[in-house]
Amino acid sequence: MRSFILLLFIVLFNSVLTAQITQDNSYRFFVDMNIVEDDKLTVELITPKFSEQEVAYKFPAMVPGTYKVYDFGQYVSDFSAKDASGNDLPVTKTDVNTWTISDAGSLYKITYKVDDTFDDTVASIKVFEPVGTNIKEGIQFVFNNQGFFGYFDGYLRNEYLLTFNKPDGFYGSTSLNALKRDEKEDVFVSKDYQFLVDNPIMYSLPDTTSINFDEAKIMISVYSESKGISSKDISESLKELMIATRKFLGGKLPAEYYTFIYNFSTDGNSGNYGALEHNLSSFFHFPDIPAQAKSYMINSLMSTSSHEYYHTVTPLNLHSEEIGVFDFNNPVMSKHLWLYEGTTEYFADYIRYREGLMDQKSYLNSIQEKINGSMNYNDSLPFTVMSKGALDQYEDQYLNVYMKGALIGMCLDIIIREESGGTMEYQDLINRLSAKYGKDKPFKDDDLFNDIESMSFPKVREFLDTYVDGPNRIPYDEIFGKIGLVLKKDTYDVIDLGGTVQIGFNQDNYRLKINDLNNTDNKFLTELGIMKGDELISFNGNPITFFNAKDVFGSAEKQAKIGDKLELVVARYDNSGPEKQVKLNAVVSDVKQKYDYELSLSENPTEEQKKLLKLWSGK
């Protein structure tokens, strides 16, 4: 009898394999990771059934959380559409992200190839790796799904079924539901396109650790190229962070299950590191590090992990219509990045400080860095205006959301505590807003300040109107002074470089290098003859390290003076030959004033300051 069942099983199994898959309303995708050609994967889709004459298959221009247009269609090639008998249907590429298919009533299958973004050399805008894709044959595959799978215009709400054939031993880390996971093949399901984009998948040999709470299951998944860091290494600190966050948010974590996907790798070309948030996971991209740098890395990972996890509060569960009803191909910005990114950035470290995972000195230092960092941006550009124009006109101001945006959060926390006499804090306001709105209930951009005013105090409204919606600079000394913080401004001279010199880091030899120069006609830089790609060796005879690099062009400790001589030794590479060390010289002819802010606690605080500080710090 036993063999009979087996025989029957084989017959059934064969019939499934040979039968043609019937079309219904679902998207059925197939990807075989064992077949990589030219660094590309082939994607097959059995399409939903259409009654229209013509349908448009699209890839997103942008996805939620990145606030940047990447045009994922540009990585797609060899696109073809067929009917059920295998005959080609006419396809026209209508724009960078769109393929229009005629005779759509008989459309059965489309096929195309996808190149990854991590080592792309063509696109003018490099895709930030946490939103990108990686194809590393036999080693690792990163599916940020918008890079591989598209949607038919008007069919965003259909179900998606993804079937992956995978190399031996591979595990797909994701918060997507698996209908099947076996040695060779996985099948994941997503209720619609937005959910698919919201759930990245990383395939590699598994390195996972779980942390469980009564209401929440958390998985940590790590890919480390050199195996310098493992999921176990991260789990202890992450558990502490989750306990702190849970306590701060009222004793319950907002997501029932959540996957932290960490990628430590030398792949990628954006030159940036960081992460992207989702409702049930976040994807982190950091440099691959040797084991000695582990503890430094884990510390910086916790700040980023805290930030990404707080996003489950905002924007994921508190956002405007522009974010909630996301238009993948004609994205429109909301005015309130100060809330989505700024407030998140504030709480990321504040929760760690408040709950004892970060000491006061390090915390105040991080606030001081944000004040100084924010001064590199236009401080009198209203934040709501910047936010609305973050995709185009004010793209270069976007990163200020992590500086001034966080400081706005801190100001609101202090004002709310003062106005309420300690009975309310900023998180209470967020909770009230989240109770009124929610994941599927966006607010109107123009209503938000009215809601905030009715849920808090007139002084809060006044602050928002004056300093967030208006062009006025925030008086940090006055607002931070309420909790006894003293802000000192240091003025000093630096060499006038006419713009910015972006300094990066060569992972292979640990040297600092010139990543970019946006000011090639600057007199001093021209005389010096420094070039993009140069690695910094020494200045005026002193070896350049992380600690003194800021002194090269002038700092508070080493001010620049007109007439100073700078001798800079750099390593330069020509046509991938061996490096050449080059001595560069220039005389300083122009200096400009810079400011540094220093934040400290008052030595003689008033009783009121002491009281408010205690309320805010919890200590």
Rounded least distance, CB 341 to Zn ion, Å:
5
Backbone angles phi, psi at 46, to 5 degrees: -85, 115
Mask for 314-343, x = binds Zn ion (CB under 5 A)? ---------------------------x--
**Cis peptide bond N-terminal to 48, omega within 30:** no
Measured from the CB atom, is 146 or 306 closer to Zn ion? 306
Measured from the CB atom, is 341 or 535 closer to Zn ion? 341
- Record the tokens describing residue 556, joined without a space: 């508070």
Measured from the CB atom, is 341 or 445 closer to Zn ion? 341
Measured from the CB atom, is 116 or 341 closer to Zn ion? 341
Measured from the CB atom, is 73 or 342 closer to Zn ion? 342
Rounded least distance, CB 150 to Zn ion, Å:
25
Q: Could you give the CA distance from residue 102 to residue 87 in angstroms, rounded to a whole number? A: 13
Measured from the CB atom, is 74 or 344 closer to Zn ion? 344
Rounded least distance, CB 402 to Zn ion, Å:
8
User: Which residues lie below 8 Å from residue 182, measured CB to CB, with a gap of 6+?
Assistant: none
DSSP per residue, 127-187: PPGGGS-EEETTTEEEE-GGGT--EETT-TTS-EEEEEE--TT-EEE-SSEEEEE-SSEEE
Q: How many helices (H) and strands (E) would you count in the chain? A: 16, 28
**Torsion sign across C-alpha atoms 58, 59, 65, 67:** negative
User: Which residues lie below 8 Å from residue 423, measured CB to CB, with a gap of 6+?
Assistant: none
Instruction: List the beta bridge partners of residue 264.
Output: 224, 286
Q: Could you give the CA distance from residue 463 to residue 242 in angstroms, rounded to a whole number? A: 32
E strands, 225-329, are 257-264, 274-277, 281-286
Rounded least distance, CB 281 to Zn ion, Å:
14
Do the Cβ atoms of 34 and 41 come closer than 8 Å? no
Measured from the CB atom, is 223 or 402 closer to Zn ion? 402
Q: Could you give the CA distance from residue 606 to residue 482 in angstroms, rounded to a whole number? A: 9
Rounded least distance, CB 505 to Zn ion, Å:
23
Residues 501-520 close enough to bind Zn ion by CB under 5 A: none
Rounded least distance, CB 340 to Zn ion, Å:
7
Mask for 341-360, x = binds Zn ion (CB under 5 A)? x-------------------
Taking every pair of Cα atoms in the chain, the longest distance, rounded to a whole number of angstroms, is 97
Mask for 553-572, x = binds Zn ion (CB under 5 A)? --------------------
Measured from the CB atom, is 64 or 498 closer to Zn ion? 64
CA atoms within 13 A on the CB side of 96: 12
Rounded least distance, CB 276 to Zn ion, Å:
8
Rounded least distance, CB 434 to Zn ion, Å:
17
C-alpha distance across the termini of the chain, in Å = 73
Q: Report the residue number whose CB is nearest to Zn ion.
A: 341
Rounded least distance, CB 374 to Zn ion, Å:
16
Rounded least distance, CB 407 to Zn ion, Å:
16
Q: Could you give the CA distance from residue 343 to residue 408 in angstroms, rounded to a whole number? A: 7
Number of residues in contact with Zn ion, rule: CB under 5 A? 1
Q: What residue ranges bind Zn ion (CB under 5 A)?
A: 341
